[in-house]
């Protein structure tokens, strides 16, 4: 089997969200044999989300579990989230950015976490700001305990912002005494079981906790701008089947 750690944008682009992607049932059978992530080895956690909502969708239940165990958890939202609805005027985009910041604070509070860090980099342009982002994340990780887990979107997730954040997180962790964990979000949409683009041999499953899973679902519901049409005639950014698939497969990390 071959694998790659970046550059799956063409795969994501070839699978329109409206098409549904890989069925949840296909994944549930496939992931049953993956090893379990040992949460007891985490001294502190930094969750790096390309957009407000990725922290919840990709790693929210695990972050909630760890916080409940007394682990310090910091959420870093990289972008302003203003690019999720196409065709907005400059003023409308600023309104959306403000809404998404409010949604982020609500979601992290539902997860039981502290005030998130919002870097405010431009949604859709994170690959153009990787050096800046790497420096910002290095500063965050440097202030954390030795061995801190830095969980960020996978460098091969397909969405260009997700891949850029994964690359920056990897570069930042390389300068510190920290451990990189990469979580997929959009991979579940475009990839297939046994897909050679995914490093399955490095993947493990976060243990499921029903209370944390319920918090995650309530936190996801805080993102009204993403789960309902933002304005008349607009497509939903996160259709119900996308959320249902993420809730069903649980949370995975690549180490």
Q: Alpha-carbon distance 173 to 171, whole Å?
A: 6
Domain assignment present for 27 = no
pLDDT of residue 6: 56
181 closest CA partner among 42, 4, 35 = 42
pLDDT of residue 3: 37
Domain assignment present for 7 = no
Contact in structure between 58 and 251 (CB atoms under 8 Å):
yes
In DSSP terms, 183 is beta-bridged to 153
pLDDT of residue 149: 98
Count of domains for the chain: 1
CATH of the domain at 136: 3.40.50.10320
pLDDT of residue 171: 98
Contact in structure between 11 and 190 (CB atoms under 8 Å):
yes
226 closest CA partner among 109, 91, 56 = 56
State both tokens at 112.
């039981």
Domain assignment present for 4 = no
Domain assignment present for 34 = no
The domain in which residue 132 lies consists of: 43-82+90-254
Domain assignment present for 60 = yes
DSSP code for 36: B
Domain assignment present for 21 = no
Rg value, the chain, Cα: 17
Domain assignment present for 191 = yes
Contact in structure between 31 and 249 (CB atoms under 8 Å):
yes
pLDDT per residue rounded down to tens, the chain (255 residues): 333 445 999 999 999 999 999 999 999 888 988 999 999 999 999 999 999 999 999 999 999 999 999 999 999 999 999 999 999 999 999 999 999 999 999 999 999 999 999 999 999 999 999 999 999 999 999 999 999 999 999 999 999 999 999 999 999 999 999 999 999 999 999 999 999 999 999 999 999 999 999 999 999 999 999 999 998 888 899 999 999 999 999 999 999
């Amino acid at each position: 089997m071959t694998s790659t750690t970046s550059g799956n944008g063409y795969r994501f682009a070839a699978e329109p969200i409206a098409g549904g992607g890989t069925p949840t049932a296909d994944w549930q059978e496939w992931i049953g044999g993956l090893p379990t992530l040992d949460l007891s080895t985490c001294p502190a956690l930094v969750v790096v989300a390309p957009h407000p909502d990725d922290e919840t969708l990709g790693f929210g239940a695990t972050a909630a579990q760890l916080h409940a165990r007394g682990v310090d958890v910091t959420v870093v939202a990289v972008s302003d989230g203003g690019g999720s609805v196409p065709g907005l005027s400059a003023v409308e985009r600023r309104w959306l950015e403000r809404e998404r910041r409010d949604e982020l604070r609500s979601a992290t509070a539902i997860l039981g976490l502290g005030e998130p860090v919002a870097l405010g980099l431009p949604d859709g342009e994170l690959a153009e700001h990787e050096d800046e982002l790497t420096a910002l994340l290095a500063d965050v990780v440097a202030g954390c305990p030795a061995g801190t887990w830095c969980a960020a979107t996978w460098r091969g997730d397909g969405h260009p912002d997700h891949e850029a954040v994964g690359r920056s997180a990897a570069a930042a962790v390389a300068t510190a005494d920290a451990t990189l964990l990469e979580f997929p979000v959009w991979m579940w949409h475009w990839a297939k079981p046994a897909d050679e683009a995914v490093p399955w041999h490095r993947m493990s499953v976060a243990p499921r906790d029903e209370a944390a899973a319920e918090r995650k679902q309530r936190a996801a519901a805080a993102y009204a701008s993403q789960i309902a049409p933002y304005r008349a005639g607009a497509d939903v950014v996160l259709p119900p089947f996308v959320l249902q698939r993420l809730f069903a497969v649980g949370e995975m990390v690549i180490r």
